[in-house]
Structure 1
């Protein structure tokens, strides 16, 4: 049901805000979103193949057309799936910025094997670039949980970490 109140087990669910997905809104968001995605993809050193997988595997010509138009501040409209994927990348990038002291450490975390169940010994980047929205959202949810204080299993970056002790606390 679009824009209609719906009840499930007596609970009234909020109305779906379909105007968020209107072509006019997607048109406004498309170029800036893709420019930001390209900057993050450069930072993460994603290959063209990985970029295509993250974006839902558009044709190479479509991807290059989007990139050219975005860089030139042109006007084009991405579909909801592509914008959702870019949104997940933005959330992952933001979470890495919060969790790690510098961008390089965040990129290293993405590229190193991780023993968390969500990754099964693979680097998070492998899950992120598997071509599905689910892969992107798995990495995003994992980082959001870690950012929110849910325990994150250590990986190789953490092996040499020395826990803080009372002497490390500074009162002013």
Structure 2
């Protein structure tokens, strides 16, 4: 059997926690706006940071130093947002889906947002997993 040619090595780019945090806060803010989330919902989805910290992040994303839990939460929210954009190409339909009652057993007639607002990171994971399964991925 012939040997496969070696792929060129691409060096890993190390992104500083500050750059990652700033990008995550900006992305979360855009999604929160698209989903029309009030401040209380945003705080819950982020894991209930102190209100003053949250407002500081919004005012100056560069000052954000997000912990692992908050970054994980935002990662799930980004995945949920992306999956909805793929499943429902109409942006208005994709953005409103999380607020609509859902008959899937996972939601028990409530909305995905209701499930996500339980405060548990595992509920964000479950919603993300559900949408990924709906996409066939």
Task: Please give the range of the TM-score, normalised by the shorter of the 2 chains.
Answer: 0.7 to 0.9
Cα distance in structure 2, aligned partners of 1:131 and 1:96: 21
Structure 1 residue 43 corresponds to structure 2 residue 64 = no
1:122 to 81, 89, 110: 110
Distance 1:147 1:67, change over 3 A: same
CA distance in 1, matches of 2:24, 2:82: 14
| Partner deviation per Cα, 1:15-54 (whole Å, 9 max, x = no partner) | xxxxxxx9x7422200011001000000000010000000
Q: Is residue 33–residue 83 contact of structure 1 (8 Å, CA) maintained in 2?
A: yes
TM-score normalized by structure 1?
0.68
Q: How does 1:108-119 map to 2 (within 5 A)?
A: 108-119=96-107
1-side partners of 2:32 and 2:96: how far apart? 14
Q: CA RMSD in A?
A: 1.6
Q: How big is the shift at 1:107? A: 2.2
State how far apart, in whole Å, the 2-side matches of 1:75 and 1:47 are: 22
Does residue 122 of structure 2 align to residue 131 of structure 1? no
Q: Distance in 2 between matches of 1:118 and 1:26?
A: 34
Q: What residue ranges of structure 1 are gaps of 5+ in the alignment? A: 1-21, 150-172
DSSP 3-state at the match of 1:111: coil
1:12-161 mapped onto 2 (5 Å cutoff)? 25-70=16-61, 74-148=62-136
Q: For the residues of structure 2 that align with 1:133 and 1:26, how far apart are their CA atoms?
A: 20
User: Is the 2:103–2:109 Cα contact (8 Å) retained in structure 1?
Assistant: yes
Bigger-Rg structure (1/2): 1
Are the counterparts in 2 of residues 26 and 79 from structure 1 also a CA contact under 8 Å? Answer: no
Runs of 4+ aligned residues of structure 1 deviating over 3 Å after TM superposition are: none
Give structure 2 stretches of 5+ with no counterpart. 1-13
